A and B are shown apart, each in its own frame.
Chain A
């Protein structure tokens, strides 16, 4: 039957909807082949002449015949036959006689419908026709392009669904369903080799090519899209958080992200404490600090040598994140020092901050240790480190209580 269709297409018809019409005819043919009973009735219809067919649309044929004719188009309402007949037509130049000549009389009933549709040019709503034609063309193009299958992702079908929604508003239930069925048939025609998903296409307006073994109802589709979005965002977060490289799985990564955010917030807190403390001892001249100088300081984070004390601390059970943050704090606080002692002093100051923060945040008396001699500080600090950082990354309650009590930020 298909080659007859192609022969029709090769005829020199005017109007862009011709090929569309042929597709529709093909789709109708597929439909009607399922309904054996109606064949006979349709053949009867075919046998009648054109004027009779014209009369069909205007009058009620007889309930029996009307019903039979409607059966292949199950989705049509009672008065939809007329609309269906009006539906998509080529330009006005479409010649009835030509079509009749091309189609041999023993052609299947399917061509009858197209014939009948070709004669009803009178009661046309041209704007609607145009829209429907575009719709059909869109679907046809979708189906005929080589990448048609790929283009059946959600976006395009949503555009189609939008079209359908519009049409629904304009016309009524019948038309969109007609289109749906037609497009379903079209897609079936064009993608016979992709049989795995064609069976699952239903009469909803989002034509998504479902993957193998996956459901296609709208809820699961939305769920799947949402899950994909979330996994994409988790990947972005994985790049941001330095410790997430080896960890897969949502829960573990979320844990790492939480730890990282907590550690960053804590760093902000005690950096501000450090500034507060240093503020009290140093008169800081901001006017001297232009924006040109500042980036120089910011930029010069030396990858300088670690403090030798750190090397002698084998008992740490810091998780990599904590260790890294500790190292970063130590390294980056060491600006190119004017003298070696200054460097050590700054490093020891930062280490003492660590110990201070870890041991007794609730009381601020350890600030008196600011002025201690570096050599005295270091051993004490090392023991503090060992004590405080010997737990896992799920932090001790003292941290949490500290942050909850004294910090309105977390309230």
Chain B
């Protein structure tokens, strides 16, 4: 990889800038007081959310999984069960709408998981892993998985580098 040829608008650089900005915000918010595990855990949560959010924002709404992630992040309210259910159903409808271009199978499949038998058990697991995957048929699910894997690898690369920078300084 060459320094000069690095694309400033590539996924990697977009994600990196956003994530670093979020990190500085997190650092600025909470002054580093003590290393209690609880605080570290909270910070970890925030950093993880920031990582997911910045990745989803880097992808914008082009992908179903990013839309689902953004939706999840926006309506995160851990208290009410109703909110979770509402979110899930809206995610389903949203992704159904998004994924229904040309896939007539989706209408059938979105009625419930018991109708979906393509791919079998593994596809169900994959659907749980990939955000927004519950309402997709296998074809779109594979597409989304491929893009999701690519973005995850980018995310891991960038975060690892940041962590190394941290550990070196």
Contacts and interface: CB of A to CB of B under 8 A. Distances in A.
Contacts of B47: 272-273, 275-276, 279
Interface stretch (B34-42, B92-100, B106-114): B34-42
B162 A275 contact: yes
Interface of A is mostly: helix
Contact of B1 (A251, A295, A329, A346): A295
A265 B65 CA distance: 14
Interface string A284-316: 111001011011111100000000000000000
B13 A291 contact: yes
A399 to B, nearest CB: 13
Interface in B118-159: 118-120, 122-123, 125-126, 128-131, 138-139, 142-143, 145-146, 148-150, 152-153, 155-159
B39 A280 contact: yes
A349 B165 contact: no
Contacts of A409: 48-49, 52, 72, 131
Contact of A272 (B51, B78, B157): B51
A261 B27 contact: no
Interface residues of B, number: 72
Interface stretch (A9-17, A193-201, A236-244, A381-389): A236-244
Contacts of B18: none
B23 interface: yes
A5 B163 CA distance: 81
A363 B38 CA distance: 10
B23 A265 contact: no
B32 interface: yes
B164 A335 contact: yes
A347 to B, nearest CB: 10
B62 interface: no
Contact of A281 (B16, B35, B120): B35
B130 A261 contact: yes
B166 to A, nearest CB: 4
B164 A254 contact: no
Contacts of B131: 409
Contacts of A226: 105, 139
B60 interface: no
Interface residues of A, number: 65
A100 interface: no
B146 A233 contact: yes
A271 B150 contact: no
A141 B67 CA distance: 47
A279 B163 CA distance: 9
B146 to A, nearest CB: 5
Interface string B35-72: 10111110110111101100000000000000000001
B156 A286 contact: no
Most chain A CB within 10 A, of B3, B120, B138, B164, is at B164
8 contacts: A233-B146, A250-B119, A260-B149, A271-B159, A275-B159, A279-B26, A289-B20, A298-B1
Interface of B: 1-3, 6, 8, 12-13, 16-17, 20, 23-24, 26-27, 32, 34-35, 37-41, 43-44, 46-49, 51-52, 72, 76, 78, 84, 105, 118-120, 122-123, 125-126, 128-131, 138-139, 142-143, 145-146, 148-150, 152-153, 155-169
